[in-house]
Amino acid sequence: MIVAYTQLRLAAPLTVDRHKPWEKTTRPGEKLTPTRVRRGFRHIRPHLASPARAPKPSRPDPGRPPGARHRHPTTRCKVGSTFKRPATLTERDRRGQGTS
């Protein structure tokens, strides 16, 4: 809460008095209340500098060291080999290969 009020106090010189129709205007040089600064804050935000972007890494990660072998080699499948599938659904259910 204190940080929010501090931000409003720091933005007070940048804002213009935006008062409701039933409120009195402030005299020039008079400090604005945090509520009035908050009303004007949305009009100064587009003119403020944008925050910095996320830093980019300076170099790539080490990864696998040169000369090291893969710990988990890729599984290979036989090309062209097939297995016999049941011809009907009842045959499939008899074999115990039902869908889960």
Q: What is the pLDDT of residues 11-55, one digit of tens each?
A: 777 777 777 788 788 777 777 777 777 887 778 777 777 777 887
Comparing CA positions, the residue from 23, 21, 16 lying closest to residue 40 is 16
Q: What's the token pair of residue 41?
A: 């804050």
Q: What's the token pair of residue 30?
A: 């008079």
pTM of the model: 0.38
* Contact criterion met (CB below 8 Å) for 18 and 40: yes
Q: What is the pLDDT of residue 76?
A: 82
Residue bearing the bigger pLDDT, 97 or 16: 16
Q: What's the token pair of residue 75?
A: 């599984």
